Amino acid sequence: MPRVMIANRLEKCNSVDGDPCTISILGEPASKANSRRFVLIGGKPRFIKSKKALSYSKDFEKQCPVLDNLYEEDLAVAMKIYYKSRRPDLDESLILDLLQGKAYKNDRCVKLRYTEWGLDREYPRTYIVLGALDKIDEVISTLKEIVKKKGIMSLDLVSSGIKLLAGGLSLGQHKRKCPECHHTRSKHKHDKSLSINVGSDGIRYHCHHCETSGGWMYTKDDYVPRPIEIRDSDTGNEVAKNYLRGRGIVDTVIDNHTIQGTYTFNGEVVPAVGFPYRDGSQIVAIKWRSADAKKMYSQENVCQDFFNLENYKEGNNILLVEGEMDALTWLGCDLPENLTVMSIPNGAPAKVKDGKVDAREDTKFQYVWRAKKALDSAGEIILCFDNDEPGVALRDEILRRIGISKAKLIDLDGYKDSSEAYGDKG
């Protein structure tokens, strides 16, 4: 399975060069009542930070960016603090204290505070928005926006060990030894203290022993595949070309949407058809299929988006088919200009049980999420999948993800797939 491509969203959440500026910090701040404790130092009474306040301060230090120009003018500050439980009082004083030297010179310049309480048992955190006092409305609305998006998560703290661990996991909850602390644990060497939660939008983790926690969201920008160069000599293989013609694909489609070359399957070089996956004009991945009845498949780089997505124009209707061959068949038809034909990169789910996709295959549908912008802006989305069990399961899964409202289904009228229906009926 291709490793989940991961991203550091911190920069996008911490926008510190704007006004208002936003900062997000992971962890549960100590409330005033328990943030200081009374001790005697050299016989004299002193208040020092409690252990909880100290450890939060350390975490805060690591996560909080320092503004190039510290605020000195009168400020409005809005926050939402998510606590682990209902017990702690809503109290932003420690955070205001810690922002000194990071966002402003002195917390005396904070003239207006707006604080919301929130509950997140797994990922206590705080969103902070700061702005000039006369921008209070904007400061609060920015906070509400961040809260709505939920996008967050501290990232500077994510060690490469954790990224590596989480990279290949399937959707759901996982337990692993914590790369941050397990080497320090002589008694419980085998304790899998790190829970990793792989969701459809991102990954979160938390160690019950060392309290390391964080996460990140998937983004497309994060994975920059090495572009694949195709020279003239790499394409135009006659066997491959004739194979496509034999399947009823017209020459213009063959030239524009395929590479006719050779590929090495199991050590043997054979004529093969390459389906280029492009980002703009650049080929970022190729799916290869042997040009024979053996139907061998392989990939160069990871095909992780809809095939032909690069030709989608905002507002177009989309015809979604199962495989690249189906897409090529449709592309050769006399289609309306505002219709983009796309196929899914990894075929129908192999594991179907009672008509449902195996949960472990759920990560396979990331291409839907990655194409969200296109799918959201599309007029109609027409689904035309194979008339077998995996095809129907695929259709239902896609429908579940894009929403049923603008989807249309094409009935293949008893034919197994688009190619077959086309071959018979044209």
> Could you tell me which residues are beta bridge partners of residue 407?
381
Residues 289, 264, 360: CA angle, nearest 5 degrees: 55
Q: Which helix (H) or strand (E) holds 342?
A: strand 339-343
CA distances from 101 to 36, 69, 71, 108, 153 (A): 20, 10, 9, 12, 22
**What does the alpha-carbon distance between residue 117 and residue 79 come to, in Å, rounded to a whole number?**
9
> Could you tell me which residues are beta bridge partners of residue 200?
none
Q: Which is nearer to Zn ion, 126 or 212 (CB)?
A: 212
Instruction: HSE, CB side, 13 Å, CA atoms: give it for residue 120.
Output: 22
Q: Which helix (H) or strand (E) holds 131?
A: strand 125-132
Distance in Å, CB of 194 to Zn ion, minimum: 6
Of 41, 21, 313, residue with least CA distance to 138: 21
* Residues 199-258 close enough to bind Zn ion by CB under 5 A: 207, 209-210, 212
**What does the alpha-carbon distance between residue 340 and residue 114 come to, in Å, rounded to a whole number?**
48
**What does the alpha-carbon distance between residue 198 and residue 192 come to, in Å, rounded to a whole number?**
16
Which three-class secondary structure state does DSSP give residue 421?
helix
Q: Which is nearer to Zn ion, 23 or 194 (CB)?
A: 194
Distance in Å, CB of 209 to Zn ion, minimum: 5
Q: Which is nearer to Zn ion, 157 or 374 (CB)?
A: 157
Q: Which is nearer to Zn ion, 178 or 381 (CB)?
A: 178
Q: Which is nearer to Zn ion, 58 or 313 (CB)?
A: 58
Q: Give the count of residues interacting with Zn ion (CB under 5 A).
A: 7
Distance in Å, CB of 182 to Zn ion, minimum: 7
Q: Are 317 and 340 in contact, with CB atoms under 8 Å apart?
A: yes
Q: Which is nearer to Zn ion, 12 or 208 (CB)?
A: 208
Q: Which helix (H) or strand (E) holds 213?
A: strand 213-217
Residue with tokens 């289609």: 335
Distance in Å, CB of 35 to Zn ion, minimum: 24
Residue with tokens 């042997």: 290
Distance in Å, CB of 162 to Zn ion, minimum: 9
Q: Which is nearer to Zn ion, 150 or 175 (CB)?
A: 175
Of 15, 130, 137, 17, residue with least CA distance to 73: 130
Q: Which is nearer to Zn ion, 177 or 370 (CB)?
A: 177
Q: Are 22 and 128 in contact, with CB atoms under 8 Å apart?
A: yes
* Residues 150-209 close enough to bind Zn ion by CB under 5 A: 178, 180-181, 207, 209
Distance in Å, CB of 142 to Zn ion, minimum: 34
Q: Which is nearer to Zn ion, 16 or 165 (CB)?
A: 165
Distance in Å, CB of 266 to Zn ion, minimum: 43
* Residues 312-331 close enough to bind Zn ion by CB under 5 A: none
Of 289, 317, 284, residue with least CA distance to 301: 284
Distance in Å, CB of 157 to Zn ion, minimum: 12
Distance in Å, CB of 47 to Zn ion, minimum: 31
Residue with tokens 């177009």: 316
Distance in Å, CB of 55 to Zn ion, minimum: 14
Q: Which is nearer to Zn ion, 210 or 239 (CB)?
A: 210
Residue 112 CB contacts under 8 Å (≥ 6 apart), including other chains? 75, 76, 77, 133, 136
Q: Which is nearer to Zn ion, 209 or 247 (CB)?
A: 209
Distance in Å, CB of 213 to Zn ion, minimum: 9
**145-150: Cβ within 8 A, 24+ apart:** 146/13, 146/22, 146/24, 146/80, 147/80, 147/116, 147/118
Q: Are 26 and 61 in contact, with CB atoms under 8 Å apart?
A: no
Which residues here bind Zn ion, judged by CB under 5 A? 178, 180-181, 207, 209-210, 212
